[in-house]
Amino acid sequence: MRRPDLTSDDGDESASSGGRFRLDARFRRLFAPRVFLLALVCSVVGLVAGGAVPIVGSFGRFVGIAFAGFVLAFLTSGRRYVEAGLAGALTAGLGFVLGTLNSALFPVIADYGLRIAGIGTTAGLIASIVGHYLGRDLRAGLTKEV
């Protein structure tokens, strides 16, 4: 019996192979765990590197996350907005909350921690997706025939 190709985009599978392979192939096209781990590592490095710049402060963290999405667009082929967005959102949300834990605003964080994490998560999601979009756009422009 021939094993179905999980990477094909044609969608022509026999009824005897079952719907599991089709669902698995669609899921892998939508979300790739290895690409997500790469995006998460890039986002953490971008967060730390952007936060290390003393003048720009927390704004630099989001610039670093956007740059991580930009780099991810060069390292991977195809649209990886889900992985880039999820990694940027997780990194920014956790970084935003952990960055405010050692401040004098700790009682405020106890009351509004979920809202603060939501703001950081949303900003990281937007920064990562915009960075990934710009990276894909630049890559397409560099690889296009003149």
pLDDT tens-digit map of 18-45: 556 666 766 667 788 888 999 999 999 9
pLDDT at res. 12: 47
Q: What one-character DSSP code corresponds to residue 8?
A: -
| Whether 57 and 15 share a structural domain | no
| Whether 76 and 13 share a structural domain | no
Contact between 59 and 100 under an 8 Å Cβ cutoff? The reply is: no
pLDDT at res. 93: 87
| Whether 4 and 46 share a structural domain | no
| Whether 11 and 73 share a structural domain | no
Which residues form the domain of 26?
A: 1-30
pLDDT tens-digit map of 55-108: 887 789 999 999 999 999 988 878 889 999 999 999 998 887 777 776 666 666
Report pTM: 0.73
| Whether 65 and 13 share a structural domain | no
How many structural domains is the chain composed of? 2
| Whether 122 and 73 share a structural domain | yes
| Whether 109 and 59 share a structural domain | yes
| Whether 74 and 130 share a structural domain | yes
Contact between 4 and 18 under an 8 Å Cβ cutoff? The reply is: no
